[in-house]
Amino acid sequence: MATETEKDVQEPKVPGQAVDADVEDGATPQAGLARNLQGRHMQMIAIGGSIGAGLFVGSGSSLQSGGPAAVVLGFIIVGAMLLCTVQALGELAVLYPINGAFYQYGVRFIDPAWGFAMGWQYAIGWLITLPFEINAAGLTIDFWHHYNIGIWIAVFMTTLIIVQFFGVKGYGEVEFVLGFIKIIAVLGFIIFGIVVDCGGVSTDDRGYIGFRYWNGKNGNHAFRNGFKGFCSVFVNAAFAFGGTEMVGLAAAEAADPRKSLPKATKQVFWRIAGFYVISLLIVGLIVPNSSPDLLNSSGANTKASPFVLAIQYAGVKGLPSVFNAVITISVMSVANSCTYGSTRTMQALAQYGMAPKFLAYIDKKGRPIWPVVIQMLFGLLAFIEEGTSGATVLNWLLALTGLSSFFVWGSICLSHIRFRTAWKAAGHTLDELAFRSQLGVYGSWVGLFLACISLVATFYISLFPIGGNPDAEAFFESYLAAPIAIALFVFWKVWTRDWSFGVKIKDMDLDTGRRDFLDLPQPEPEPEGRRASLRRLSQAIF
């Protein structure tokens, strides 16, 4: 790749065209990975890649425990954190489209042990989430008829294995198609919900609903269970948003990261505002938060999905089955993302000496074979549900990943803050960056602060659960990921016998894996007056 890069730099095909060059000290670590993800794949991964059971089903438990206003406010806060995170990640991933992405940024700009902990926690998180998602996909079939779930687990596992044969291209195409279906479904639901709320559905005898379920009557409240109810929203919101950072992980296999990544990161604003906040606002308007049906809205119990309940309460026949099919598709999409996230992270960890060497092997078609095999073996854990204590085992396994999103997102923001400091100290300017976070370093500080606040809120609700007393088992089911992260951090310190903490600014590696974009066209001068102000305002928002 270095030879091809040098040729591109010396002989640009078009005068003034931006050319990207890898600035590295040796062989490219991700050279074996195929850069086959196109712009449309990256945008769909950013917009709809993680819309799944967390939104369609898990939001119901938040609605029941926190109330509709708490759900909207909680998702806005976590969404703001994610927006800051993705902007910071976009800047880093365009400049360093390296395999392992954010875990590697932690190694370079924070501390190698912290990067190791984040990498393995992220990989383990997706490894364990896969059997849960496959099991969830099987359970969605129970909406229509009770079948032996083991049959459907086998069907979905076989489908995932087939997708793996096509490598990253298969992942991208599957996400594009399934993501498109999910987006259409959410947009359709928003329109449907507005009509229902205005009393426009003849089969719904409630008439005009408005904010009826926010007024504190008949057991319905905008905020339920006080501050504890509000804090309970954060983990579910993180689970629903989890996977958005995958767009940064996919940068190493993007055909043109300089072009596709900025576009993909800008889409996150619309995804948060439209697909999450607005849809959940609509759900909170037309579904009574005192409904006993919401008590079982966890896992993949689609019969308790607030989206399905909204349609059923409106008395519309046939449409609940359609939306249940969408939930099944969404769960399979997240399962597909699980496989991608874990395999690429494990391969990168091995490539940089933080995992067994055999995991680093990539075949001629750019597939990390052994990580894929391990991921598929973990998928077989979905069959545990067939046992008498299967649900308990899966719940404890999921406890390992409950807070991983907050840790990862906070680490990305801190990595960006530290990178900017090192970039300036090395004599570089922001004009050298092909893409800059539109929220800047201040956005990363906000994202880091919100991640810490979310961890504190989750700690509080884990220690003092709603309607109960402090319980060790309940606490560790919710907060086990924190001691696991600390244990991984300490393990790497002991393994490497490196007792220092933090990478010094002057020692940060700003070259390995960096892609400099040469001959960048100079920006045109901004026109004066109102149009210039409006343009700057729109750029700051979007």
Instruction: Select the more confidently predicted residue: 152 or 233.
Output: 233
Mean pLDDT, the chain, whole residue set: 79
What's the longest Cα–Cα distance across the chain? 74
- Structure confidence by residue, pLDDT tens digits, 474-503: 788 778 888 889 999 999 999 999 888 888
Name, in order, each residue with C-beta under 8 angstroms of 280's C-beta and a sequence gap of 6 or more. Answer: 55, 59, 68, 71, 72, 75
Q: Are 375 and 127 in contact (CB under 8 A)?
A: yes
Average pLDDT over residues 271-293: 87
541 pLDDT higher than 50: no
Q: Are 121 and 404 in contact (CB under 8 A)?
A: yes
Q: Which two tokens stand for residue 241?
A: 């948003």
In angstroms and rounded to an integer, the radius of gyration of the C-alpha atoms of the chain is 23
Cα(451)–Cα(80) distance, integer angstroms: 10
Determine which helix (DSSP H) or strand (DSSP E) holds 514, and give its type and residue range: strand 514-518
Specify whether domain 39-514 bears CATH 1.20.1740.10: yes
The amino acid at 504? K
- Structure confidence by residue, pLDDT tens digits, 191-240: 999 999 999 888 888 889 999 999 888 888 999 988 889 988 988 888 88
Cα(493)–Cα(362) distance, integer angstroms: 29
Q: Where are the domains of the chain?
A: 39-514
Q: Which of 206-210, 268-272, 394-398: highest mean pLDDT?
A: 206-210
Task: Indicate the pLDDT class of residue 253, thresholds 50, 70 and 90.
Answer: low
Name, in order, each residue with C-beta under 8 angstroms of 383's C-beta and a sequence gap of 6 or more. Answer: 150, 153
Taking alpha carbons only, the member of 441, 433, 436 closest to residue 416 is: 441
The pTM score is: 0.83
Task: Indicate the pLDDT class of residue 447, thresholds 50, 70 and 90.
Answer: very high
